[in-house]
Amino acid sequence: MRKAINREAYLTHAKKFTDAEYSLIKDFVDWLPETIIDCHAHCNLPEHVCMIDDRAYHHMLSTFPSFSLEESKELQMLLYPGKTVRTLQFPKTFRGINHKVANLYLLEQSSNRDRIALYGLPDDIGYTVGMLDHPRVSALKMYYSYLEPPAKEIY
């Protein structure tokens, strides 16, 4: 039985920093450069999620199947106040996400300063190779668990 995680309560709690955490943020802001590169940001909307199987949902690194560009930007502003953050964004890797629509969301809605790691589809090579020509695509993300059963070998 899957125990539901209250996403909003989790994120609200995560954004309430302790005094020690505020102190760390200040120390890092003083130390970090004016422009920060976040090279690993998963973003897609709830409507991009068709279903998530239990194996993926309970993966130790899984939190939520969606996280919007706006939520990502909000956390960047909280963690790096006054800094410019440029981001390499890609959809969550869960099987059950409409990755074509999620890729398009990032290409159309993300800041022009940011770049996209296309989520490639091993069952649609034509789409994947064709999208690599898009000027905003800077990388390709493929993931073993896209297939069922998950891939065990890469050729």
pLDDT in tens, 103-137: 999 999 999 999 999 999 999 999 999 999 999 99
Q: Mean pLDDT check: name the lowest of 48-52, 73-77, 144-148.
A: 144-148
pTM, rounded to two decimals: 0.88
One-character DSSP codes across 50-79 = ----HHHHT-TT---S-B-HHHHHHHHHHH
* pLDDT over 50 at 1, yes or no: no
From residue 41, give the alpha-carbon distance in Å to each of 66, 144, 151.
Answer: 12, 18, 23
